[in-house]
Structure 1
Amino acid sequence: MTSAPNLDQLTPDQLRTLAAQLLTQVDVMGKRIYRDQTVIENLNHEIAILKRHKFAKRSEQLSPDQGRLLDDLLDTDIVAIEAELKAVNPPAAPADARQQPKRTPLPPQLPRTVIHHEPENTQCACGCQLLRVGEDVSEKLDYTPGVFTVEQHVRGKWACRQCETLIQAPVPAQVIDKGIPTAGLLAHVMVAKFADHLPLYRQEKIFGRAGLAIARSTLAQWVGQTGVQLQPLVDALREAVLGQRVIHADETPVQMLAPGEKKTHRAYVWAYSTTPFADLKAVVYDFSPSRAGEHARNFLGQWNGKLVCDDFAGYKAGFERGITEIGCMAHARRKFFDLHAANKSQLAEQALHSIAGLYEVERQVRDMGDEERGRIRQEQASPILDALHAWMLAQRDRVPNGSATAKALDYSLKRWLALTRYVEDGAVPIDNNQVENQIRPWALGRSNWLFAGSLRSGKRAAAIMSLIQSARMNGHDPYAYLKDVLTRLPAQKASALVELLPHNWVSAGKV
């Protein structure tokens, strides 16, 4: 071991030489420490990934139990396709009634509500008074939360003795023609499946405990036919969202069954939402087989407003053709929060403190109009942003490339223009939290239904969940909303379809 020199015995030149050597060693050791810290951070990241591979689920192969879930998905898709084909090419003649399977009678112990349908006028064209000569009785299964009942529809037959004319009240229009479910029961199945995330096999068991033997395949048929009927309403909702000049966008992965294989691959659900400052409250989901940017471009079409999103490259092509990118300050903050949570970084703490000042301004202007909000942001938020940007640039020169600190700073610095555009327009939000909250139901749901059985079933789920989640955003009970919509939809004129959108909807009982 080399002993330390006696400084009292060294000449001034020797002292200067020794000091230079020590400074060189300090510089070398400092660089080595920075390099070692970078290596340690990267190794910790790799360890976390390896632990996830070791202890978390890795295989995408389906278990036999999961495979049985495909039965209702396939039935749903088949019925939906048949309904779409029937709408495009209606059958020339009604099907032979003798070929229809005999339906099991509904349990006699269920309460029954008798609904009479009689002609408005019982006077025959020849002038005679019609006589009631019989009736047709059909039964439909209804559901209100917690209670099954039966609607008994009685359609009296009225005949003229003189000219033998026979009339009856027309059959009320239904979402499922000649089916047993009422709008209330269909709404319950839809909400249970797409809002409460109950797969159809679970609903089959629940109905069984109530004494109703409704096969899963039958429930799947109801879902498929209802989805087809609701699609025009979802298309109108999409047009309403794209009518806004500022919208949010985000995406989340969902497992989808690969065609012809018993394993899944990663598909994606895209969410497009109005902002918290907009008068319109709505969200539309779009299901796609991949995360390719073409799916976002296809959905947005010719829309060229301001898009609040993360830094996903799939949106970049849209920015090149006129869409204005709005960055998400919450994403930038998250980088520093993770850094502070990992090692109590003082640099990250200072960045978080500055960003907190920006959010304090947002709390003050939340309920203001767009013009006033923009003015307050210019006065109070702009100075904070200018100081934060200058501080980040200074700190970036002091940290080594590749470190976690450098990555957190680079995320904000590379996106600074997009992150600060919200100050220029009071109608633009500071972050993308609005749509992230709306995409959360998918994260909850996929842990229950595990995967989408096909691209068609994924798109159907996206469509129905668009209506359900938009109803929630407008303060409506999804069950009450869907029940009323499914009751009115069969007779609703196409020109009046917008009246049934969640943000326009008024219950028939309140009209």
Structure 2
Amino acid sequence: MNRPASPAELTADIAHMDAQQLREFTASLMQQLQQQAGDLCQKQQILEQQQRELARRDEKIRFTTVENEKLKVELAYLRRIRFGKKSEKLAGIQGLLFEEAIDEDLAAVETQLSRSVPREEKQPHRQPKRQPLPPGLPHTEIRHDPANRSCPCGCALKHVRDDESEKLGYIPGTFFVEHHKRGIWACPNCERIEQAPMPPCIIDKGIATPGLLAHVLVSTYGDHLPLYRQEAIYGRAGLTIARSTLGSWVGQCGVALQPLVDALRRELLEQGVLHADETPIRILAAPKEGKKAGKGWLWTFVPGEKEAIRAVVYHFSDNRAGENARGFLDDWKGALVCDDFGGYKKGFRQGITEVGCMAHARRRFHDHWVHSE
């Protein structure tokens, strides 16, 4: 292995070099210096990139921490309202509706927190005692067995026992029970155990099938049936499903469906023409200053008639500020068909093309025509 030349040896070598050799030696040194400078610059860029990545991760950690703290405060507030002593109470049906909304919010917040907290930090969750299902309901047995019942050692697996669970399902007008049996198969030679996994479910360890959850959601938001009425309907069928359980299902389904809403919003914002409008809705809120209900706003966004998709995306806010529409549209720069509400004006100054609503424009002419007769 060649060792680097010492300064004395280099000086001696240089002393015996002619002009051409000195030029070549100098060029070689310059090339080495340039290569070292390039390597140093590349390492500096890698270091800066790593520092930026660390900064992004730190920012994400700070954001997640703040978001978790916010959710914990909201969860504590909801629990205090739902289970604590209240100096102001809502009576009768109004109180039932308010408790349903609280149960839904509690389930949604708890689900979001459980997804953001690492598994090792999660506290054991106490499951409520489940009421037995009526024995008279139709049962459907569904088996889950390994597709391959041959052990890698060459022996055939033998059935040992079944892990059983029940889920309550619903088809229009009929409840039924899905009886799941997951066979446990073992190899008599090497004692290898095989068992088919359970199919994925929306609510982990929940009793409701996707069909029943869909029925509850459609009944709640499509048919406008409050949960206390659904509880009574299920009670007449012999099923004991508490309002708090139904509210928990609705809240957890809302969290599970959020990725679909986000995906639909992304598809919507890829269209060139959108229609937008906002409408007030009455919402249940915590009793405050004698008010039993609050006011929220539902923003509706629909693609133009000739766009590639047919969809409607709703965005809820507790006020009518224009920042709600701008927050939904983000950096979208298409043509927006809307009324003359001032909340959209800032978006027009930021690159959105304003398209006046013909129905609103016609209204003024129609009013003038009616009053001029």
The two structures have a TM-score, normalised by structure 1, of 0.53
Please tell me the residue identity of whatever aligns with 2:314: Y
Is the counterpart of residue 274 in structure 1 residue 303 in structure 2? yes
CA distance in 1, matches of 2:90, 2:127: 36
Note the C-alpha offset of 1:313. Answer: 0.5
Q: Give 1:79 shift.
A: 1.1
Q: 1:209 maps to what in 2?
A: 236
**1:230 alignment counterpart:** 257
CA distance in 1, matches of 2:335, 2:281: 27
CA distance in 1, matches of 2:187, 2:356: 74
How much has 1:64 moved relative to structure 2? 4.6
- Residues 118 and 74 (structure 1), Cα distance of their counterparts in 2 relative to 1, 3 Å cut: same
Separation of aligned partners in 2, 1:95 and 1:166: 30
Deviations 1:86-127 (A, max 9, x none): 111243289879x54432221111111111100011112322
Identify which of 298, 313, 324 aligns with 2:342: 313
Amino acid paired to 1:278: E
User: d(CA) in 1 for partners of 2:367 and 2:224?
Assistant: 31
Matches within 5 A, 1:128-277: 128-259=155-286, 261=288, 263=291, 264-277=293-306
Q: For the residues of structure 2 that align with 1:316 and 1:220, how far apart are their CA atoms?
A: 39
1:63 CA displacement = 5.7
Equivalent pairs counted in the alignment come to: 283
Corresponding position of 1:87: 115
Please point out which of 298, 310, 317 is paired with 2:327: 298
| Partner AA of 1:144 in structure 2 | I
Alpha-carbon distance in 1 for matches of 2:283, 2:262: 23
CA shift, 1:266, in A, is 2.2
Contact persistence 2:101–2:284 (CA under 8 A)? no
Read off the aligned partner of 2:312 and give its amino acid letter.
Answer: V
Q: Residues of 1 paired with 2:93 and 2:169: CA distance?
A: 31
Distance 1:230 1:307 in 2: 27
| 1:431-442 mapped onto 2 (5 Å cutoff) | none
- For residues 250 and 100 of structure 1, what CA distance do their matches in structure 2 show? 43
Q: Structure 1 residues 236, 323: CA separation in 2 closer, same or farther (over 3 Å shift)?
A: same
Shift of 1:336: 3.7
| RCO comparison, higher one (Cα < 8 Å, 6+) | 1
Cα gap change, 1:63 to 1:334, in 2 (>3 Å): farther
Inter-partner Cα distance in structure 2 for 1:293 and 1:305: 17
What is aligned with 2:150? Answer: 123
Structure 1 residues 303 and 209, CA gap change in structure 2 (3 angstroms): same
SS where residue 68 of structure 1 aligns? helix
Q: Structure 1: which amino acid aligns with 2:105?
A: D
Candidates 337, 354, 367, aligned match of 1:325: 354
Give the RMSD, CA atoms, in angstroms: 2.1
Cα separation, 1, equivalents of 2:272 and 2:302: 11
Write the distance in 2 (CA, Å) between the matches of 1:228 and 1:287.
15
Q: Which amino acid aligns with 1:71?
A: E
**Does the aligned pair in 1 maintain the 2:98–2:284 contact within 8 Å?**
no
- Give 1:81 shift: 0.9
1:166 to partner: Cα distance: 2.0
- Give 1 or 2: higher strand fraction: 2
Q: Spell out, residue by residue over 1:40-67, the C-alpha distance to the aligned partner (whole angstroms, 9 max, x if none).
A: xxxxxxxxxxxxxxxxxxxxx9665312
Q: Cα–Cα, structure 1 residues 189 and 111, in superposed 2: closer, same or farther, change >3 Å?
A: same
What residue number does 1:376 align with? Answer: none
**Whole-angstrom CA distance in 1 between matches of 2:227 and 2:281:** 19
| Alignment partners' CA distance in 1, 2:197 and 2:118 | 20
Structure 1 residue 254 displacement after superposition: 1.2
The structural deviation recorded for 1:334 is: 2.3
The answer to whether the Cα contact below 8 Å between 2:271 and 2:308 also exists between their aligned partners in 1 is no
Change (3 A) 1:340 1:63: farther
AA at the equivalent of 2:219: A
Unaligned runs of 5+ in 1: 1-60, 347-511
The CA deviation at 1:325 is 0.9
Distance in 2, Cα, partners of 1:132 & 1:93: 37
The residue correspondences of 1:71-86 to structure 2 (distance < 5 A) are 71-86=99-114
1:338 shift after superposition: 4.1
Which letter does structure 2 place at the counterpart of 1:280? I
1:25 counterpart residue number: none
Q: Which has the higher helix share?
A: 1
State the shift of 1:144 in Å: 0.9
Query: How many angstroms apart in 1 are the aligned matches of 2:198 and 2:309?
Result: 37
1:286 aligns with 2:315: yes
Give the structure-2-normalised TM-score. Answer: 0.71
Deviation at 1:228, TM superposition (A): 0.6
1:335-367 CA-to-partner distances (Å, cap 9, x unmatched) read 3434555x5x34xxxxxxxxxxxxxxxxxxxxx
